[in-house]
Amino acid sequence: MNFALLIIAVVVLSQAGNLIRLCDAHPFAIAFYRLALASLLFVPFAWLHGRHRPGGPIRRIDRKTFLALTGMAVMFAAHLFFWIAGVQHTTVANAAICFSLSPVFTAVGARVFLGERIGFEVLLAIIAGLTGIGLIGSHDLSLSPRFILGDILSLLGGLCFSVYFIIGKPLRAEFSNGFLMSVVYLAGALFSFVIVLASGAPFTGFDAKTYAGFVSLAVFPTIIGHALLVYMMKFFKASTVSTAILLEPAGAGLVSYFAYGENLSINSFIGYALIMAGLIPMFRSKGH
C-alpha cells in the first residue's frame, strides 16, 4: 500500500510541467501562487488536526527545530524557482537530466547527515533511472554553451530538492504530515512573496487560464504530490523517496502523449522501461 501511494505521489507530481504550460506568468509568481494556495488549504487542516493535542507541535519547536523548518521551506521554494527558471533557459531534456541528479545528492547527503546506508537496489535504480532519462532526452540534449545558465539553474534546483528531503526526514519523524507541510507551504509562500516583490515580477492581472493553472498546481503536484512524498518519509529512507522521483519523466511524457499529442520516440519508450525496471528491485527490497 505504501509503495502504491509513493507511485501515485510521483505520477501526480510529474504533471507539474504540463500544468505550468497553462500559466502565462513569471516563474516567481507561479511559485508564489502555488505555495500560497496550498498553504490556504493546509493551515486550517493542521490547526484542526493538532489543536486538541496536549503539548502540540508549536510547543515542541525550539530554536534548532525552527531553523530546520525554515530551511526546509526555503529549500522547497528555491527548488521551484531554479527548476522553472532553468526550463526557461535551456532545453527540457537538459533541465530534466540536470535536475535528475537529485537522487545522487540525496543518497550521498542522507549517508553523511542521516547515517542511511546506500543499498545496492537504490544504486541500481539511480543508474538505471539516469540512463533512462538520458535516452528519453537524447533527441533534445544539447551541449551548447548558450544553455549553460539553464543547466546550472536546473542542477541547483535538484540540489535544493535534495537538501529539502534531507532536512525533512528527521522532522517528519517528529511532526505530523499536516503540520509539517503547512509550515513548509506557508513559510515558502512568504519567502516567495518577498522574492516576487524584490524582483519586480508581476503577480496580478493574469487571465483565467493562468489562474486555473495556479489552482491546479497547488492542488495536484503540491498538495497531493509533495504532501504524499513527505508523508512517505515516515516509512521509507530519504534516498528511496528521492530515487522514486525518477519516475517523473515517464509520468509527464505519457500524459503529454495522450493529452497533448506529443510524439514519443523509441528511445523514450526504452527509457521509460529502463527507469521502471531499475525501480522494481528497490521497491521490493526490505531495506527501504
The reported pLDDT for the residue numbered 88 is 78
Looking up cell 535536475 gives 99
Which of the residue ranges 13-17, 61-65, 250-254 has the most confident prediction, judged by mean pLDDT? 61-65
Alpha-carbon dihedral 228, 236, 118, 94, rounded to 10 degrees: -10
Query: What's the domain count of the chain?
Result: 1
Give the CA angle between residues 107, 119, 71 to the nearest 5°.
20
Which cell numbers in the block locate residue 52? Answer: 486538541
Q: Are 56 and 50 contacting, i.e. CB atoms less than 8 angstroms apart?
A: yes
Task: Please give the model's pTM, rounded to 2 decimal places.
Answer: 0.85
Where is pLDDT greater, at 133 or 285?
133
The chain-wide mean pLDDT, for the chain, equals 86
52 pLDDT more than 50: no
List the domain range (segments joined by +) for residue 89.
2-284
253 pLDDT more than 90: no
Q: Are 255 and 14 contacting, i.e. CB atoms less than 8 angstroms apart?
A: yes
The reported pLDDT for the residue numbered 56 is 56
